[in-house]
Structure 1
């Protein structure tokens, strides 16, 4: 009887740990790896990120948040972009400058103006966000300017990027 009770306690502990890990991964925090350069110079290819999944369960995304979300054209793929506009905002790109509600957006996180054609104006619908990659070179980022992404529904947002945990370019061998 002692062996059976110990075994059942062990199984109960294991099930509890698996359930806790699943809950944390689904609603708490997760790790993500950047693939590509669409968020350069802020994020680099291979960066390991800590994503706060809980934040958007209790708060709406804000302008300036760097978020991960399910690719609207391929739900098995995640993208990472910066929120430029939220519900009610009017976004326009003219002459390489991003405008929110008619006012030029001060973008200290990017190293170049937006290349390519002008875009908009686009009114951001409630329950969606307008996102751009920080890399503003022509065709460097598939974001809300492109039909395959467009306005991102809030329910596709996975979480807010909180920290870069590790950057491969900083790793060195002796």
Structure 2
């Protein structure tokens, strides 16, 4: 069995196995230390109070574990975007357990997860997680994307939307 697939349950084709694989995160330990050559993916939004928006690498809360452990008396506020779908309840359950472990280990620290959908937000709130609706694409700098000169346009428009089942 390929253990790498346990980290990515959407790769499984068996529905029941997808649910069980999502719980694999319950067995993983929080990161210990921070390798000197590992880049910090995040940004301080404020220094007083320290508010840090970080990417969730290493999973699930990125550098938040390291900074909260290194500076236990600082009242950090960490904003952590969710980069995978948590609408599958087992994924949300696993993350909520990790959240509670983090809060217990770092009581002076606030950790706010940034949900991509209202459904994620509602589910995590029911599981006792401090969460706010803030889709990760709201941080994309639109100035970074522009048409490539000399390249023929392939589409007139790209539409991304949600479809609703017709009953």
TM-score, normalised on structure 1?
Answer: 0.23
Q: Which has the higher contact order (CA 8 A, sep 6+)?
A: 1
**Which one has the largest radius of gyration?**
1
Greater strand proportion = 1
